[in-house]
């Protein structure tokens, strides 16, 4: 039995029993490999399971020739180069939500520790001092807590901090006023949040636009004596600018669970500051969160490799098992259309438009279908391994624009899919439908009615529609011992241009193609294996 090989880069296996004991999966645990080790190791693996201990860079992804799936056992995928994964067609999944409560509770712990100097007082007491005046703190009641990011963790923090009688405000351009109001949170502009908050807590992902969001300039807009908490991602706060603001007193104290570099540079001046509470990226580190995440990760990996289910992917729409089963026959249909069309398209392509006709397509994931078509269409022209993730990206890189349209009702068929390929000279169309889950038909080619079973060996002949040609084709094939299973002629008008499709029982040679092309009235012959 084939075993899918998964590389895991951290030690804790609690909750991973389903994955570790699965007969079709082999998990190799190599904790904290260096970047160089990872780049060498990854060549052998189809799956990679990580937390934040490694950076999956472009170089690592480029060496990962067998890799199909990267799973981040946690929320943040900022340690994975998603663009590189997209290009290579690797699915990246995370487990959003599994550690929300843990991260929220840790944030609250940091807020309380920070406002009451708990770690500093603890250290002082343990070293034999009784310094009651030194560690006078602040109450939370009546103060304003400003949340940057009102997603999963931000919202849970808001709910709980209301119990401290705080006024909660938030900046998050991607949530609605109604949602915030339901949580008892006032939505503010970024500038107003900076101005009005006594404590600012960060709950946003680290992206190009949030990197260094808290810097010298934004800190200068905050209240004097503001307090800042970061339990989201290192690098959202500029650590040098924070250090200067802590030194000047502009920021009276801070609590940091995450750092620009992890583990951080302990010689940095920031670590000498008395008014900062530090934890070593512990937001998600609870037994409950680790087990919850590990169980979900196990199921995600097993279902992906054994059933094709895509769950929690960050670079492709997710497909559950039911949806995957529903999509399977349509995937086969569009792949057949794509391959056939790639043979019939004679010039460089500018645009591909896929039209989905029928009520059913309103409820299914047509992005996957369009990607499957593009994958099949391009597969003869590119030497990159194409799949659902990278095919549309590669097409766009080659200057081909991809469009999807949907129509609720068609004319003759209840549901069908039409692929329209535009080149500088022509427009080529092919439509296909499902007869049953295992049986599809091409019903239209370049505006001509068709009845083609897109299966097996097919000879396509472009010819003038005149008497005698079909007979000659039959004779040549018969003389060469090629049995015809089915044949049909697509034509717009009698006597005009026609396309003849012949399903044959065996493959034909290039010499036989040349012999057919010698027949007067035949312009082109192609052999296609679908």
Q: Which residues bind ligand MLT (CB under 6 A)?
A: 51-52, 74-76, 99, 281, 283-284
Single out the catalytic residue among 22, 51, 106, 281.
281
Binding partner of residue 151 among ligand MLT, ligand NAD, none, CB cut-off 5 to 8 Å per kind:
ligand NAD
173 with 120: CB under 8 angstroms? Answer: no
Q: Minimal distance in Å, beta carbon 77 to ligand NAD?
A: 8
Question: Which of ligand MLT, ligand NAD, none has residue 149 at its interface (CB below 5 to 8 Å by kind)?
Answer: ligand NAD
Q: Which of 51, 203, 233, 441 is catalytic?
A: 233
Whether 129 is catalytic is no
Round to whole Å and give the CA distance between 156 and 386: 41
**Residue 281 annotated to the active site:** yes
Helix (H, G, I), strand (E, B) or coil at 253: strand
In whole angstroms, how close is the CB of 288 to ligand NAD at the nearest point?
13
CB of 8 to ligand MLT, least distance (A): 13
Annotate 127-149 with DSSP letters as a single string: TT---TTTT-----TT-EEEEE-
- The residue from 231, 482, 508, 512 that contacts ligand NAD (CB under 6 A) is 231
If the CB atoms of residues 183 and 386 are measured against ligand NAD, the closer one turns out to be 183
Smallest separation (angstroms) from ligand MLT to the CB of 37: 20
Q: Are 100 and 156 in contact (CB under 8 A)?
A: yes
Cα separation, 442 vs 434, in Å, equals: 9
Cβ contact 38:80 at 8 Å: no
**In the complex, least distance from residue 237 CB atom to ligand MLT, rounded to whole angstroms:** 15
**Tokens standing for residue 32:** 């904290």
By residue count, the chain amounts to: 530
Q: Indicate if the alpha-carbon torsion angle 263, 265, 269, 271 is positive or negative.
A: positive
Contact segment (CB under 6 A) with ligand NAD among 92-100, 123-131, 219-227, 448-456 equals 92-100
For position 233 contacting ligand NAD by CB under 6 A, the verdict is yes
Verify binding: residue 264, ligand NAD, rule CB under 6 A: no
State which of positions 186-215 bind ligand NAD (CB under 6 A): 203-206, 209-210
Q: Which of 218, 251, 227 is nearest to 111 (CA)?
A: 227
Nearest to 94 by CA among 48, 63, 61, 57: 48
Considering the complex, state which of residue 102 and residue 197 has its C-beta at the smaller distance from ligand MLT: 102
- What is the residue-wise DSSP string for 395-438? HHHTT-EEEEEEES--SSSSSEEEEEEEESS-EEEEEEEEEETT
The C-alpha atoms of residue 62 and residue 238 are separated, in whole angstroms, by 31
- Tell me how crowded residue 515 is: count the other CB atoms within 10 A of its CB: 17
Query: Which listed option, ligand MLT, ligand NAD, none, makes contact with residue 231 (CB within 5 to 8 Å by class)?
Result: ligand NAD
**Minimum Å distance from CB 17 to ligand NAD?**
24
Residue 52 Cβ vs ligand MLT, minimum distance, rounded to whole Å: 4
> What is the three-class DSSP state of 306?
helix
Local structure of 22: helix, strand or coil: coil
Nearer to ligand NAD by Cβ, of 289 and 490: the residue is 289
262, 325, 353, 455: which is the annotated catalytic residue? Answer: 262
175 binds, among ligand NAD, ligand MLT, none (CB under 5 to 8 A by kind): ligand NAD
Q: Indicate the burial class of 132 (C-beta count within 10 angstroms; 0-12, 13-18, 19 or more).
A: exposed
> Can residue 327 be called a binding residue for ligand NAD (CB under 6 A)?
no
Closest CA to 246 of 267, 219, 209, 221: 219
For the window 470-499, what string marks contact with ligand NAD as x by the rule CB under 6 A? ------------------------------
Residue 196 near residue 167 (C-beta atoms within 8 A): no
Kindly identify the residues of this chain, within the stretch 58-77, that bind ligand NAD according to CB under 6 A: 75-76
- The Cβ-side half-sphere exposure at 527, using a 13 Å CA radius, reads 17
- In the complex, minimum distance from the CB of residue 210 to ligand NAD, in angstroms, rounded to a whole number: 5
Q: Residues in contact with ligand NAD, total (CB under 6 A)?
A: 32
Scan residues 148-167 and list those touching ligand NAD (CB under 6 A): 148-154
Catalytic residues: 233, 262, 281
* Contacting residues toward ligand NAD, per CB under 6 A: 75-76, 96, 99-100, 103, 148-154, 171-175, 203-206, 209-210, 231-233, 257-258, 281, 283-284
């Amino acid at each position: 039995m084939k075993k899918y090989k998964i590389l895991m880069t951290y030690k804790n296996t609690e909750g991973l029993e389903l994955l570790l004991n699965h007969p079709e999966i082999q998990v190799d645990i190599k904790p904290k490999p260096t970047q160089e080790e990872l780049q060498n190791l990854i060549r052998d693996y189809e799956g990679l399971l990580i937390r934040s201990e490694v950076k999956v860079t472009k170089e690592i992804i480029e060496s990962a020739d067998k890799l199909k799936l990267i799973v981040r056992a946690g929320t943040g995928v900022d340690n994975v180069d998603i663009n590189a994964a997209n290009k290579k067609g690797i699915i990246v999944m995370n487990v959003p939500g599994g550690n929300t409560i843990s991260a929220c509770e840790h944030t609250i712990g940091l807020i309380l520790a920070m406002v009451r100097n708990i770690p500093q007082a603890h250290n002082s007491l343990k070293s034999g001092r009784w310094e009651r005046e030194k560690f006078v703190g602040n109450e939370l009641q009546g103060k304003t807590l400003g949340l940057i990011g009102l997603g999963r963790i931000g919202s849970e923090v808001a709910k709980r901090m209301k119990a401290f009688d705080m006024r909660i405000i938030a900046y998050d351009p991607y949530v609605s006023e109604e949602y915030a109001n339901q949580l008892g949170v006032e939505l503010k502009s970024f500038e107003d949040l900076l101005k009005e908050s006594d404590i600012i807590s960060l709950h946003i992902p680290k992206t190009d636009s949030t990197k260094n969001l808290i810097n010298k300039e934004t800190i200068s807009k905050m209240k004097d004596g503001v307090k800042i908490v970061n339990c989201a991602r290192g690098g959202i706060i500029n650590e040098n600018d924070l250090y200067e603001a802590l030194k000047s007193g502009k920021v009276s104290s801070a609590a940091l669970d995450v750092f620009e570099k992890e583990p951080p540079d302990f010689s940095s001046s920031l670590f000498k500051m008395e008014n900062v509470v530090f934890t070593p990226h512990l937001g998600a580190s609870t037994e409950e969160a680790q087990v919850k995440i590990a169980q979900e990760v196990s199921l995600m990996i097993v279902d992906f490799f054994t059933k094709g289910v895509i769950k929690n992917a960050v670079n492709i729409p997710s497909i559950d098992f039911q949806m995957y089963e529903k999509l399977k026959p349509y995937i086969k249909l569009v792949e057949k259309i794509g391959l056939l069309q790639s043979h019939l398209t004679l010039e460089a392509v500018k645009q591909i438009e896929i039209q989905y006709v029928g009520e059913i397509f309103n409820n299914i994931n047509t992005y996957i279908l369009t990607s499957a078509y593009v994958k099949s269409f391009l597969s003869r022209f590119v030497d990159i391994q194409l799949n659902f993730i990278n095919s549309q990206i590669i097409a766009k890189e080659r200057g081909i624009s991809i469009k999807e349209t949907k129509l609720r009702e068609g004319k003759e068929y209840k549901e069908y899919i039409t692929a329209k390929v535009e080149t500088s000279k022509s427009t080529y169309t092919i439509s296909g439908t499902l007869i049953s889950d295992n049986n599809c038909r091409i019903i239209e080619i370049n505006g001509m009615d068709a009845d083609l079973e897109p299966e097996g060996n097919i000879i396509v002949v472009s010819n003038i529609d005149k008497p005698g040609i079909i007979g000659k084709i039959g004779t040549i094939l018969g003389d060469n011992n090629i049995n015809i299973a089915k044949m049909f002629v697509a034509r717009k008008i009698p006597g005009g241009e026609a396309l003849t499709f012949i399903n044959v029982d065996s493959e034909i040679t290039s010499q036989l193609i040349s012999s057919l092309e010698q027949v007067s009235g035949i312009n082109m012959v192609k052999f296609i294996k679908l």
